[in-house]
Amino acid sequence: MPQPDHISKLGVPDPAALDEDLQVIWHKCVDKLGFVPNVFSAYSLKPQRLRNFMAMYNEIMLSESGLSKLEREMVAVVVSSANRCYYCLVAHGAAVRMLSGDPELGEMMALNYRVAKLDRRQRAMLDYAWKLTETPWLIDDTDRAALRDAGLTEQDMFDLSETVAFFNLSNRMASATDMMPNREYHRAAR
Amino acid sequence: MPQPDHISKLGVPDPAALDEDLQVIWHKCVDKLGFVPNVFSAYSLKPQRLRNFMAMYNEIMLSESGLSKLEREMVAVVVSSANRCYYCLVAHGAAVRMLSGDPELGEMMALNYRVAKLDRRQRAMLDYAWKLTETPWLIDDTDRAALRDAGLTEQDMFDLSETVAFFNLSNRMASATDMMPNREYHRAAR
Amino acid sequence: MPQPDHISKLGVPDPAALDEDLQVIWHKCVDKLGFVPNVFSAYSLKPQRLRNFMAMYNEIMLSESGLSKLEREMVAVVVSSANRCYYCLVAHGAAVRMLSGDPELGEMMALNYRVAKLDRRQRAMLDYAWKLTETPWLIDDTDRAALRDAGLTEQDMFDLSETVAFFNLSNRMASATDMMPNREYHRAAR
Amino acid sequence: MPQPDHISKLGVPDPAALDEDLQVIWHKCVDKLGFVPNVFSAYSLKPQRLRNFMAMYNEIMLSESGLSKLEREMVAVVVSSANRCYYCLVAHGAAVRMLSGDPELGEMMALNYRVAKLDRRQRAMLDYAWKLTETPWLIDDTDRAALRDAGLTEQDMFDLSETVAFFNLSNRMASATDMMPNREYHRAAR
Amino acid sequence: MPQPDHISKLGVPDPAALDEDLQVIWHKCVDKLGFVPNVFSAYSLKPQRLRNFMAMYNEIMLSESGLSKLEREMVAVVVSSANRCYYCLVAHGAAVRMLSGDPELGEMMALNYRVAKLDRRQRAMLDYAWKLTETPWLIDDTDRAALRDAGLTEQDMFDLSETVAFFNLSNRMASATDMMPNREYHRAAR
Amino acid sequence: MPQPDHISKLGVPDPAALDEDLQVIWHKCVDKLGFVPNVFSAYSLKPQRLRNFMAMYNEIMLSESGLSKLEREMVAVVVSSANRCYYCLVAHGAAVRMLSGDPELGEMMALNYRVAKLDRRQRAMLDYAWKLTETPWLIDDTDRAALRDAGLTEQDMFDLSETVAFFNLSNRMASATDMMPNREYHRAAR
């Protein structure tokens, strides 16, 4: 039985009818990645929401930070693992494989990050990501102290927390729309 | 013992040193509300993050939608109740009281929304908000069908889902920073 | 949509038909508080049960103890927060505000006690109250030792435990009957 | 290694020093049961608390009700099973065995009531007892309707709910004090 | 209402039609125990599955090991308590009573092992059994170190883990088939 | 940082020192798969345990059954997903990809089986596998009826249940030993 080929259960508008700024982005994606990520297509149902989502995404995942891009992708996958989000695990699992050149690391982040061999700082970051995702109400000074002890600055802690927070948003948009990842992610960097 | 008077455990920069566009917003807040919401102060640690957060917030909570502003605030409070987020319960609980003119409704949303007298559409929205917050991986076609049966369009479902998703982000930023709400919220619209 | 105006979903007998001793109590309540607490009305469905409930309540909450009346009310609210009991959060949240003169403290106890600034003894009491409510089977000598270390005597530990236990009873009676709190509590001591 | 022989980890006063009314009860227990139930000894640390506890216990478990005494004991055991309360499972498990003459029924109530062969009314009562114990905040009109459909009156529903509520109190007192049951219960009615 | 008298809800083949090797075992059971354990009857629906189950059971529970037979039965009961498995709690609870000569120990293992008086090594084994049953994904080097500190060798840890794992299998077979224990277990070694 | 290269945290004996029957199996594995599955190496710490494990595994996964081999592997992966077992997700995820020729299906089973497009019978099997894994004590006649309605016979239900049960065993052995999967699985059938 062939797997689902929808992008979003709430429907996706005709890309040819999108505003010009979005069409430009669509073309750039095809040039660079070979495809338009389905999260953009799903979000294009409400164009201004998409613009805000992309602005926030780019700032959190791609701007300067004390956390490397790989570390931010690792956090993304661990949050998505806690929330069992199919779209984000497939898309950001691929990103971990690509950025690390280590296919097993991607699998470990997606399936159970505790089995991975990590330095103390990364392990502290991922333990925090899991707790802030599952029981945010229990986060207290002890958790912040553990991050400081592992070498994170206040700015790093802000960036880490916002990465966790953002994927708690995007995991829920993906689950809400039954968003399916582009098939290209599955084979990438295996 | 006096209650905490910090704004964020990650520190808050001097407002006088903020970029001009943010200072303009700070002044507008004081004019309109009498104070700058602490979430803005806490987020000003990273100004571009704040701009993105405000853009997303304004679009989700204030733009045209099939969900009324009160309904969006009710969703915000129910999500924050599931996540036991002090900042958001205090600030958005006040918003429900103000927009509804019904102080009890605000309390019910914060403490246990199931005791409130709601029409079927609102109850369906809040049940969905709770489930998408607590177990996003269990959301399926049945849940989307229940919303449709209660009268929501696809666009309404997108707006509802993004409101839920957004407060799952902001609840975690508040917990991560131990964000304290402005005291003015406590007495508002009681 | 006006909020519910029932007192109990199991019905409430005509107060004029109650036994004389209860009528005397009803009058005292009106004299002192301005109203009869709805928990008494709900419980008057079975008068002897009400008498026992009031006797136990008065002894636990009002008799001499190493725990102050405010501390006992704080425990009541924290237990009710774990159990998300609307009636008890509203009624005893008001009591915390009144006894402490600190409206924020009442909100913190109801929404997430971990954000409050408390001395070590009070924090230990509330952590114990939460654990004894949520996972009583995990309470062991370690928990009793933590209370002793925080300065509680055996008698204090008995009183604390019985307060926790009692609100685990009354939370369930309130949920079982969908008990609605008197509206006067909402505005009290804001 | 011999099993614990303490009665309560908070200590038990010398029975010879108790008030006369309690000594009378102690003697009656020995006459009737052959021993003083340890819950009384543990509670005698605070004599007035014990009097209130006994008054409430007797009314709930022994007074006239639409629920038989056996049914009330079955509810007591199912609540204690959810809370994994050793004292109450041993003492009230024995009561189910004695009142029913069916040793297996006592075991089923303690270990997993869902395996027992029960009529629809009893099964509805025990399902309600489990839910009101584990997630009281989710109880709503649907649950009350299920009880009504199974034949319970409003008075029966009050009695059932208070039995559930009471054992949520006593389970926590037993866990708080690490209360050990009298050894006589183990062999009774096997 | 008499309790259930089925053996398995998936049906049990006529013992007279079983292969000869199984009939020999049936006879040995009757000779030695007075009855054929119902788990064998239930499993005989698929004879080769039964042979494998018995081989594994005998090796784990009866072969040479650093864990005594009593300790292995204690682990069996604690795992079955976490999984609330009626069949295994009744059958192996009886085994703990018989092997220890201590009826209370059997009850403690079944109802809440934390109340038992155990040496440090046994307590460490049972804490591990509970955690490996409830949250196997959280087991890490800390847990293995705790066992080593309590005196277990690598071989002991293997045996302990396989006992835990095996009862997580057999608990699920019992729940899947609603397997009823032989009545003889109830009275044994009380 | 290179990922872990141990096989089991409890150690692995020298394969050259294994009994001859096991050496024969080791050679067959290398011939057929190119490697010895690490679960065999880990289990060879106790050779008789390994023999029993292999006998049970082969019977459950490879013998005649109303469930196809692919379906049994799907069940294996869904159980391992509930238990977040790295070893089994990697090894049996590869098996699903190989047997189905559908790499996405393997990912869906591992990450959230609810997003897959399945026929009613397979969906019923996987829902049952999840429930029997997470809350075996709640399985009752309703669950068995759902399987029957989806077309399963009593023998099929036995096979399905034993597959679920077996992976609840093997997931725990993998977590107990921090078992690492052979690297070959990662790239297989992508």
Contact at CB, E157 and F170, closer than 8 angstroms: no
* Res. F116: pLDDT tops 80: yes
**pTM score:** 0.98
Instruction: Check residue F189 and give its pLDDT.
Output: 94
F abuts E (3+ Cβ pairs < 8 Å): yes
Contact F100, F148 (CB under 8 A): no
- Pick from B89, B104, B115: CB nearest C111: B89
With CA atoms as reference, report the closest residue to F86 among F77, F95, F73. Answer: F77
CA angle C105, C110, C116 (to 5 degrees): 40
Please list, in sequence order, all residues whose beta carbon lies within 8 angstroms of the beta carbon of residue C176, skipping any fewer than 6 positions away: C10, D132, D136, D139, D157, D161, D164, D165
Nearest chain B alpha carbon to F116: B140
With CA atoms as reference, report the closest residue to C39 among C2, C67, C12, C3. Answer: C12
- E10 — contact with chain F (CB < 8 Å)? yes
Two structure tokens written together for F126: 């996987």
Distance from CA of C136 to the nearest CA of E (A): 11
Contact A7, A21 (CB under 8 A): no
At position D76, the amino acid (one-letter code) is A
* Res. E104: pLDDT tops 80: yes
Interface ipTM > 0.90: yes
- D190 — contact with chain B (CB < 8 Å)? no
Q: Chains with ≥3 Cβ pairs under 8 A against F?
A: A, B, D, E
Contact A129, A79 (CB under 8 A): yes
Residues 95-114 of E with CB under 8 A from D: 102-105, 107-108, 110-112
Where would I find the H helices in chain A? Answer: 20-33, 38-43, 47-62, 69-82, 86-100, 103-111, 120-134, 141-149, 154-177, 184-187
Contact E165, F169 (CB under 8 A): yes
DSSP 8-state class, residue D17 = G
Distance from CA of D63 to the nearest CA of C (A): 10
Instruction: Check residue D105 and give its pLDDT.
Output: 97
> Model confidence at C3, in pLDDT bands (50, 70, 90)?
confident
Two structure tokens written together for F184: 């070959």
**How far is the CA of E15 from the CAs of C53, E18, E23, E24, F158, in angstroms?**
59, 5, 7, 11, 18
Mean pLDDT, rounded, for E87-99: 98
- E77 — contact with chain D (CB < 8 Å)? no
pLDDT in tens, C58-112: 999 999 999 999 999 999 999 999 999 999 999 999 999 999 999 999 999 999 9
Instruction: Check residue A5 and give its pLDDT.
Output: 84
* Res. E4: pLDDT tops 90: no
Instruction: Check residue B4 and give its pLDDT.
Output: 85
**How far is the CA of E106 from the CAs of A181, B84, E32, E94, E101, in angstroms?**
52, 40, 22, 7, 9
Mutation target among F7, F8, F10 for the E interface, most CBs of E within 10 A: F10
Size of interface B-F (CB pairs under 8 A): 4
- D38 — contact with chain C (CB < 8 Å)? no
- Percentage, residues of chain E above pLDDT 70: 99
Instruction: Check residue D3 and give its pLDDT.
Output: 81
User: What is the torsion angle, in degrees rounded to the nearest 10, for the CA atoms of residue A117, residue A119, residue A121 and residue A124?
Assistant: 30
* Res. B2: pLDDT tops 80: no
> Model confidence at F2, in pLDDT bands (50, 70, 90)?
confident
pLDDT in tens, F138-175: 999 999 999 999 999 999 999 999 999 999 999 999 99
Name the CA radius of gyration of chain B, rounded.
Answer: 17
pLDDT in tens, E129-167: 999 999 999 999 999 999 999 999 999 999 999 999 999
Q: Could you give the CA distance from residue B125 to residue A121 in angstroms, rounded to a whole number?
A: 40
DSSP 8-state class, residue C102 = -
Place of tokens 């956390």: A67
With CA atoms as reference, report the closest residue to B128 among B163, B170, B100. Answer: B163
Place of tokens 């059954």: F65
Please list, in sequence order, all residues whose beta carbon lies within 8 angstroms of the beta carbon of residue A130, skipping any fewer than 6 positions away: A78, A79, A82, A113
- B61 — contact with chain C (CB < 8 Å)? no
* Res. A129: pLDDT tops 80: yes
CA angle D178, E71, E75 (to 5 degrees): 70
**How far is the CA of A30 from the CAs of A35, A73, E68, in angstroms?**
4, 22, 65
Please list, in sequence order, all residues whose beta carbon lies within 8 angstroms of the beta carbon of residue B20, skipping any fewer than 6 positions away: none
At position D96, the amino acid (one-letter code) is V
- Pick from C85, C86, C190: CB nearest B190: C190
Nearest chain D alpha carbon to F138: D114
Please list, in sequence order, all residues whose beta carbon lies within 8 angstroms of the beta carbon of residue C28, skipping any fewer than 6 positions away: none
**3-class DSSP state of E127:** helix
Contact at CB, D139 and C176, closer than 8 angstroms: yes
**3-class DSSP state of E66:** coil
Q: Chains with ≥3 Cβ pairs under 8 A against C?
A: A, B, D, E
Residues 157-176 of C with CB under 8 A from B: none
Contact at CB, E176 and F169, closer than 8 angstroms: no
Provide the CB-side half-sphere exposure for B78 (13 A, CA).
30
Mutation target among C135, C137, C141, C142 for the E interface, most CBs of E within 10 A: C137
With CA atoms as reference, report the closest residue to E173 among E37, E28, E35, E63. Answer: E37
Two structure tokens written together for D19: 């008030």
Instruction: Check residue C31 and give its pLDDT.
Output: 97
* Res. F3: pLDDT tops 90: no
Q: Chains with ≥3 Cβ pairs under 8 A against E?
A: A, C, D, F
3-state SS of B87-148 is: HHHHHHHHHHHHHHCCHHHHHHHHHCHHHCCCCHHHHHHHHHHHHHHHCHHHCCHHHHHHHH
> Model confidence at A4, in pLDDT bands (50, 70, 90)?
confident
* Res. B1: pLDDT tops 80: no
* Res. C44: pLDDT tops 90: yes
Instruction: Check residue E2 and give its pLDDT.
Output: 77
Chain E partners of A114 at a C-beta cutoff of 8 Å?
Answer: 137-138, 140
> Which regions in chain D score pLDDT beneath 70?
1
